[in-house]
Structure 1
């Protein structure tokens, strides 16, 4: 008790002035107390909110992968140049990942969405995060799924907030798909009106979905709604993929077709 009194005396300066009383969040007011004032945070413009160094790294990776993929289309399949170009993707991705991992390990960068635990990560944590990213890419490529269906649950399991998890998974899908769009456009492999129609529909649907989900979160007061939506989407996609896959497998078994891996060198661009 004496220690507490001493602390209060030091906090109040001379001890004559009473310390300012602050209401507890959500505490009872009995209609006599005024609502606590919330200090307005200074507004930050979009340009000030951009991490230009990190954005530059992403643009470098995007341009490097795009250049490699386009150049690879002009080489013979399974030729020496073909495999060299494929292997060039490893130093680009591994180099950038190591750079970010070292910054996180030394505390020069922090994961803002994880608060105080987002800095000075341990080696085993960094290895786990990188391994999850690689595994998500492999599973997504084998199953033909978008990265969001794999990365979303992984981010949630790693303790990333639902809003950040959803936004990051969406950005990852946009990052990879935009390279394919530019590549196929330069190679003249898809009709522009057809692609523009899907871009328009997808954009409208995304804005409507974002607006509806934001309103629901405000009404319900629970950001966990994003987790339920993500879980429902994954459940529906798993049922759909499983049903279609089983149906195709039964048809191939009935026709006694080969269901193994094809020779990659027999593929012609």
Structure 2
């Protein structure tokens, strides 16, 4: 399902092309066709959300009786419709502020009572698909120097594997999944401090140099 979603949005980016209008079809940048294809992402996301909810409902109907006999009633958080809203909020805030969706949705999943191991795995998949799609979008928009991003991607991949291995060994050794919660809290705290600090420095530089600090035109 996730691969199908990724490929669907990838096809939209192929149709839209880069900022110079170069794609598999020739459309004017910021023209009518450009905005129609860009806006098609919204109904496509809604369609996949409804489809996944339908699949989950069918699966739950088939297995509900068995689960009730073995494990009792289904946990409340599994029946909550708040998860699509959480993903929507994380995507909007991530797009506006340029931060990873995994950092936003991790504490929300933990608050909903999801196990730390499941939360970590879910956020890892989210980061993989969202970051690869963002990188693809930047390439189509005309990114010229890709050596730097490729180096950062390789470093982040190795660091992720190293961190995953260390955390898994620590959990197996001490039997405490709370290490994941502590790691998420540490990353959230450090990210808040660094983002606030660097943001304040950028605002001060723009203010002292007289640059406009408002929103730029989309085209």
- How far apart, CA to CA, are the structure 1 residues paired with 2:62 and 2:122? 17
Structure with more contact order per residue of length (Cα contacts < 8 Å, sep ≥ 6): 2
Residue equivalent to 1:225: 179
- 1:262 is displaced (CA, Å) by 1.4
Partners of 2:87 and 2:74 lie apart in 1 by: 20
- Counterparts in 2 of 1:144 and 1:159: CA distance versus 1, 3 Å: same
1:237 match: 191
1:118 & 1:62 partners in 2: Cα distance? 30
Based on CA coordinates, which of the two structures has the bigger radius of gyration? 1
Conserved? CA contact 2:6–2:133, under 8 Å: yes
Consecutive unaligned residues of structure 1, counting only runs of 5 or more, are 1-56
Q: TM-score, normalised by structure 1?
A: 0.66
Instruction: Provide the residue aligned with 2:130 in structure 1.
Output: 176
Within 5 Å, give how 1:76-225 maps onto structure 2.
76-106=28-58, 107-108=60-61, 117=74, 122=79, 125-126=80-81, 128-183=82-137, 189-190=143-144, 194-225=148-179
5+ long unaligned stretches in structure 2: 22-26
Partner of 1:67: 11
The one-character-per-residue Cα deviations of 1:2-61 (angstroms, maximum 9, x if unpaired) are xxxxxxxxxxxxxxxxxxxxxxxxxxxxxxxxxxxxxxxxxxxxxxxxxxxxxxx22221
Root-mean-square deviation (CA, aligned residues, Å) is 2.7
Q: Deviations over 1:65-99 (max 9, x none)?
A: 01111321233333110111012112221111112
Contact 2:90–2:104 under 8 Å retained in 1: yes
Residue aligning to 1:14: none
| Whole-Å separation in 2 of the counterparts to 1:199 and 1:248 | 25
**In 2, Cα distance between the equivalents of 1:232 and 1:219?**
21
Show the 5 A alignment for 1:14-25. none
Please state how far the C-alpha of 1:203 moved relative to its aligned partner.
Answer: 2.7
CA shift in 2, pair 1:109/1:161, >3 Å: farther
Alignment coverage as a number of residue pairs: 203
Distance in 2 separating the partners of 1:158 and 1:120: 6
The Cα of 1:253 is off from its aligned counterpart by: 2.1
Following superposition, the deviation at residue 119 of structure 1 comes to 8.8
Q: Which has the higher helix share?
A: 2
Distance change >3 Å, CA 262–CA 58, structure 1 → 2: same
Give the 3 Å change call, closer, same or farther, for CA 121–104 of structure 1 in structure 2: farther
For 2:111 and 2:134, locate their aligned partners in 1 and report how far apart those are by CA, in whole Å.
29
**Runs ≥4 in structure 1, deviation > 6 angstroms?**
none
